[in-house]
């Protein structure tokens, strides 16, 4: 059973109890909404210097036990898309992520909440090499603007920026 959920039977309910979101999972709510992204891919291990534009949506799956993230955009004129399912593991205080890319590649990540920043990290296969990848995200403008710096490293020590992006919430929250 997923350690991040509690269960509760509704009056008269027969069978499996309804799972309830963990308190930590609710922190992901800061991402919920539609976002417009603009930024730059820096020349390096992931590709040439190129503009990045996209639309992202984050929404709760019914029951609010998983957050669904969709990314649809262009990097240097080439289509780029993915869908992610984000959960919570209360025992590690991390948020496991499974990503499915439009290239057919799947990847596993983790989000960590560091108060002023969210850090997403994992590994990618680039050619014959596995590289470490992380993104540090900061919210500003009452949560309506997000900046993300994507970095790669071959050794997990020396990091090089490959994406710098800014996202604006499509509908500003009061």
Residue pLDDT, tens place only, 97-133: 999 999 999 999 999 999 889 999 999 887 788 899 9
Look over the chain and give the mean of its residue pLDDT values, rounded to a whole number.
Answer: 88
CB neighbour burial string for 15-28, b if at least 16 within 10 angstroms, e if fewer: eeeebebbeebeeb
Which residue, chain included where needed, has tokens 């900061």?
Answer: 138
For 41-60, the pLDDT digits (tens) are 999 988 999 999 999 999 99
In sequence order, what are the residues at sequence separation of 6 or more whose Cβ sits closer than 8 angstroms to the Cβ of residue 61?
Answer: 67, 68, 85
pTM (two decimals): 0.84
pLDDT at 4: 46
């Amino acid at each position: 059973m997923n350690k991040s959920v509690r269960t509760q039977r509704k009056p008269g309910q027969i069978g499996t109890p309804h799972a309830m979101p963990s308190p930590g999972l609710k922190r992901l709510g800061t991402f919920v909404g539609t976002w417009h992204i603009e930024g730059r891919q820096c020349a390096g291990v992931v590709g040439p210097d190129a503009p990045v534009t996209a639309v992202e949506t984050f929404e709760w799956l019914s029951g609010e036990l998983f957050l669904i993230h969709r990314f649809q955009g262009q990097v240097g004129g080439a289509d780029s898309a993915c869908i992610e399912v984000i959960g919570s593991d209360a025992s590690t205080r991390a948020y496991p992520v499974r990503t499915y890319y439009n290239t057919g590649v799947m990847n596993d990540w983790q989000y960590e909440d560091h108060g002023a920043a969210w850090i997403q990290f994992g590994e990618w296969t680039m050619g014959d090499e596995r590289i470490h990848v992380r993104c540090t995200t900061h919210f500003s403008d009452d949560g309506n603007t997000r900046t993300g710096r994507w970095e790669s490293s071959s050794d997990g020590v020396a990091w090089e920026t490959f994406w710098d992006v800014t996202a604006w919430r499509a509908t500003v929250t009061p």
